[in-house]
Structure 1
Amino acid sequence: MSESKKIIKNKVAFLDRKIPRYASVLGITVLLLLWETICRMNLVPPLFLPAPTAILSDGWDLMASGELMNHITASLTRIVGGYAIGATVGIIIGLILGFSRWADAIFTPVVYSIYPIPKIALLPLIILWLGIGEMPKVAIIALGVFFPVLINTFSGVKSVDQTLIKAAVTFGSSHFNVIRKVILPGALPTIFAGLKLAAGTALLLLVSAEMIAAQYGIGAMVLHYGNLMITTKLMFGVMILSLLGLLFNRGLHWLENKLIPWK
């Protein structure tokens, strides 16, 4: 084997080399160690940046008292309900707009005109419509999830190869079978991109809604301890939000691998 072929083979082997599992937590571990070191050296006042150990200590107190579980339960109920409603309706309407030329021509301009409106700005109006309670918070999350899922579903349907659709219709497939067996599988990668994008939007709207109009929830907890200037518990709430976002992302990634194994 020539020297050039050996070099190429070594480069290909390097590119194909598997990344060890611990690499995914290496960056976080280094960041936490650096953070703890800075705090131990008193380079930053604890009020502005408490040490991770102090945050975990106060977080344990919140868990032991049961307060944290009340906040987490309230937040999970809102975000799961709002996300499920917004994603389901977004996928259904996105499929309809992508499949029907009449629906596309009539309703797509409406969707794109409403989409840029900051959804949290509509919360006072939604509270006026639905009253004070859980429904406005679930509704604002559903609204925020609806648009990115709808737009990505619509784009995914439009990107499906038209030759496959025409072939299915030519062989006598009904509209329902064309959607179920041709359009939906072809659009799934783009749909999941929208679902992942919507997960971040849902978390953002959850915190915003809880800070404005809630007694319980992670957002309400963060605001409460921020007003009291108890930075450790505030930061623990932020860490819980980060963990929720990570769990949502990993859950969607797992579901994507199950539903789209060819990807």
Structure 2
Amino acid sequence: MSNVIETTGVVVGAGPDQPNPVHMKGFGAGDSSTLLISLATAAVLISTWWVVAKLGLVPRLFLPTPQEVVTQIGAVYRDGYAGASLGEHVSASLFRIGTAAAIAIAAGIPIGLLMGLNRWAKGIFDTPIEFYWPLPPLAYLPLMIIWLGIGETSKVTLLVLAMFAPICLSAQAGVRSLPIERVNAARSLGARPWQLLVSIVLPSALPEILTGIRIALGVGWGTLVAAELIASNRGIGYMIMSASQFLATDVVFVGIGIIAACAFAFSAAVRLLEATLVPWKGKS
């Protein structure tokens, strides 16, 4: 005999034989926010840094306290460093990384898509990319200086080369991961080649492309600092190098913090773009 519950004129059976919904257990990190965990981790790291520096476990010359670094940020902001203001150093680095990223994205995505779609393009571009991609950028930095001089052109070219390969290869991987059933379905509906490219290939490859851009930006920031160590009088890397020569460790920490903040901002922008353009990623 089943129980009957009457609520506002609606009779609902709540019998013992009624199936209960089963909630499947998730797998992996899931979509839950990790903000509190990240903030707690940052607090622990800063506290550990403060304790180690305050107790003198590491000489203050090599490890300043967080307070000293914060004080130095204000001093560099007011007075500048190494013959330039903080804004000039940051703007010089942002100009180089921004220009190089725009060029690498504009060239890397079309070439990567073409490599994934055409075997002739893959055969032509794959060899030079695979040849120079494993090389550290510092290995061909002297060549850039010899060929292009010590101005901005050599630095931007070096950054473009460092960022081009991951973007191009990620675009190619995105095309190769495209299910052929999706292409055949579009063809059966009369899609033309350019419609396939715009409506099927590019959206399907977009998650891989955005991941490649994030990787390229990380590589670009590391390469930028190395490029600014040589033949430069502006930039965050130059400021760090100049401070290290005078053992101004607090200024070195300031430069590292600025680079980390800029790189985090770039990565967050790509994540936001990813959430907007490919909200289905990881949910299939």
TM-score between the two structures when normalised by the length of structure 2: 0.83
What's the CA shift for 1:61? 0.3
Name the residue aligned to 2:48. Answer: 34
Name the residue aligned to 1:126. Answer: 144
Structure 1 residues 16 and 206 mapped into 2: Cα distance closer, same or farther (>3 Å)? closer
| Cα distance in structure 1, aligned partners of 2:181 and 2:56 | 66
- Name whichever of 62-71 and 197-206 sits farther off: 62-71
Which of 98, 105, 123 is the aligned partner of 2:123?
Answer: 105
What's the CA shift for 1:261? 1.6
Contact map agreement 1:90 1:150 (CA 8 A) in 2: yes
Aligned residue identity for 1:223:
M
Which ranges of structure 1 fall in alignment gaps of 5 or more residues? Answer: 1-7
What's the CA shift for 1:241? 1.1
Identity %: 34
Name the residue aligned to 2:62. Answer: 48
> Residue 47 of structure 2 aligns to a residue in which SS?
helix
What's the CA shift for 1:215? 0.7
Contact map agreement 1:87 1:142 (CA 8 A) in 2: no
Name the residue aligned to 2:135. Answer: 117
Structure 1 residues 34 and 114 mapped into 2: Cα distance closer, same or farther (>3 Å)? closer
> Residue 78 of structure 2 aligns to a residue in which SS?
helix
Moved beyond 6 Å, runs of 4+: none
Matched ranges for 1:127-166 at <5 A? 127-166=145-184
What's the CA shift for 1:220? 0.4
| Cα distance in structure 2, aligned partners of 1:154 and 1:247 | 26
Say which structure is richer in helix: 1
TM-score between the two structures when normalised by the length of structure 1: 0.90
> Residue 212 of structure 1 aligns to a residue in which SS?
coil
| Cα distance in structure 2, aligned partners of 1:140 and 1:239 | 23
What's the CA shift for 1:20? 6.6
| Cα distance in structure 2, aligned partners of 1:246 and 1:17 | 20
RMSD of equivalent CA atoms: 2.2
Which ranges of structure 2 fall in alignment gaps of 5 or more residues? Answer: 1-21
**What is the number of residues matched between the two proteins?**
255
| Cα distance in structure 1, aligned partners of 2:252 and 2:127 | 42
Render the CA deviation track for 1:76-125: whole Å, top value 9, x for unaligned.
Answer: 00011111111221111001111112212333233222322222222222
